Chains A and B, each alone.
Chain A
Amino acid sequence: MTAVQTPRADSSAEASAVSKLVARVKRVVASNPSVLPTVAAIVIFIGMVIYGEVAYGRIVQANTLSNLLINNAHLIILAVAMTFVILTGGIDLSVGSIIALSSVAGVMLSNAGWDPLVVIVLMILIGTVFGLASGILIQYFNVQPFIATLAMMFLGRGLAALLSTQPERLPEDSPIRWLGEQFKVVDGEKVNDVVVTPGVVIALLVVLAAFFVLHRTRTGRTVYAIGGSESSSALMGLAVPRTKVLVYVISGTLSGVAAVVYTSRLGIAQNITGIGWELDAIAATVIGGTLLTGGYGYVLGSVIGALVLGLMNVLITRDGGIPPEMTTIITGGILLVFVLLQRAVTSKRHT
Chain B
Amino acid sequence: MSTDARWSWLRELIRKPFFWGLIAIVALLALNVLKDPNYLALSINPVNGNLVGNVVDILRASAPILMIAVGMSLVIATGGIDLSVGSVMAVSGAVAMVFMKEAGESGSLGAALGAIGLALLVSAVLGAVNGVLVAYVGLQPFISTLIMMLAGRGIAKVITEGQNTSATNDPFRWIANGFVIGLPVVFLLAILIVLVVGFVVRRSALGLMIEAIGINPKASRMAGIKPNGLLLTVYILSAVLAGIAGIMSVGTVMTVDVSRTGYQMELDAILAVVIGGTSLAGGKFSIGGAVVGGLLIATLDKTIVFLGISSSATPAFKAIVIVVLCLLQSERVRSWFVQRRRPPQGRMTPSPAPVKQENQEVTA
Q: Give the B-binding residues of A (Cβ under 8 A).
A: 91, 97, 137, 140-144, 146-148, 150-155, 157-159, 161-162, 165, 230-231, 234-235, 241, 271-272, 279, 282-283, 286, 292-293, 323-333, 335-336, 339-340, 343, 347
Contacts and interface: CB of A to CB of B under 8 A. Distances in A.
Query: How extensive is the interface on chain B, given as a class?
Result: 35 or more
B309 to A, nearest CB: 8
A87 B209 CA distance: 33
B153 A328 contact: yes
Interface string B250-282: 000000000000000001001000100000110
Interface of B: 81, 133, 137-140, 142-144, 146-151, 153-155, 157-158, 161-162, 267, 270, 274, 280-281, 309-310, 312-320, 322-323, 326-327, 330-333, 360-364
B364 A165 contact: no
Contacts, number: 142
B151 A329 contact: yes
28 contacts: A137-B323, A142-B360, A142-B364, A144-B281, A146-B81, A146-B142, A151-B326, A154-B267, A155-B319, A158-B316, A158-B317, A161-B313, A161-B315, A231-B364, A234-B361, A279-B150, A282-B146, A325-B154, A325-B157, A328-B151, A329-B150, A329-B154, A332-B148, A332-B151, A333-B151, A336-B147, A343-B138, A347-B138
A222 B272 CA distance: 35
B332 A271 contact: no
A contact face: mostly helix, strand, loop, or mixed: helix
Given A142-B360, A328-B151, 14 more contacts: A137-B326, A137-B327, A142-B330, A147-B322, A150-B322, A158-B315, A162-B309, A162-B310, A272-B312, A323-B158, A325-B158, A335-B143, A335-B147, A343-B139
Contacts of B333: 141
A292 B138 CA distance: 13
Contact of B312 (A91, A161, A330, A333): A161
A51 B19 CA distance: 59
Contacts of B320: 155
Given A142-B330, A323-B162, A343 B151 contact: no
B310 A161 contact: yes
Contacts of B281: 144
A69 to B, nearest CB: 24
Contacts of A339: 139, 143-144, 147
Contacts of B331: 142
B162 A154 contact: no
A326 B155 CA distance: 8
Contacts of B316: 154-155, 157-159, 161-162
Contacts of B330: 141-143
A95 to B, nearest CB: 15
A158 B162 contact: no
A158 B319 contact: yes
Contacts of B155: 329
B314 A158 contact: yes
B154 A328 contact: yes
A43 to B, nearest CB: 21
A157 B148 CA distance: 23
A275 to B, nearest CB: 9
A97 B313 CA distance: 12
A326 B319 contact: no
Given A158-B319, A231-B362, A234-B362, A325 B161 contact: yes
